[in-house]
């Protein structure tokens, strides 16, 4: 399990988010242009949040989705693989609410557009 670190939001109580460094070395991803970049939890959450327009916020919260996605990370994972993992995670979560299925499709289509 990932280690936890506090994250404070101005409008809510403190949340505990996973720290993505799962070993002594910092985790990194491989960007679409081939550059390596440190994993940024907030950037992944922002990407997922940008695709949540019109979905029920009572059920579809980008932070827990990102937490589940980060659990499947490995060093050197590409951004395209992160998108695929996020889409698969949301598809699995569609058992809880159908909006997760919509989000899974949006992530997959967005990933396809970025790769072409």
Predicted confidence (pLDDT) per residue in 50-96, tens digit: 999 999 999 999 999 999 999 999 889 999 999 999 999 999 999 99
Crossing angle for the helix pair 62-71 and 79-93, to the nearest 10 degrees: 120
Alpha-carbon distance of 116 to 112, in angstroms, equals: 6
Distance CA 108, CA 20 (A): 23
Which residues, other chains included, contact 51 with Cβ-Cβ below 8 Å and sequence gap of 6+?
103, 106, 107, 110
Q: How many domains does the chain have?
A: 1
CA atoms of 75 and 82, how far apart (whole Å): 11
Domain with 52 in it: 3-115
C-beta separation of 44 from 31 below 8 A: no
Look up the pTM and report it: 0.76
pLDDT tens, position by position, 9-26 = 434 443 444 444 444 357
């Amino acid at each position: 399990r990932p280690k936890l670190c506090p994250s404070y939001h101005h409008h809510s109580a403190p949340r505990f988010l996973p720290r993505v460094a799962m070993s002594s070395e910092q985790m990194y991803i491989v960007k679409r242009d081939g550059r390596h970049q440190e994993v940024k939890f907030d950037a992944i959450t922002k990407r997922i949040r940008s695709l949540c327009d019109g979905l029920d916020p009572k059920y579809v919260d980008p932070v827990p989705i990102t937490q589940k996605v980060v659990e499947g990370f490995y060093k050197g994972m590409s951004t395209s693989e992160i998108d695929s993992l996020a889409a698969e995670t949301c598809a699995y979560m569609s058992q809880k609410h159908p909006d997760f299925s919509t989000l899974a499709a949006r992530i997959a289509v967005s990933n396809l557009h970025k790769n072409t």
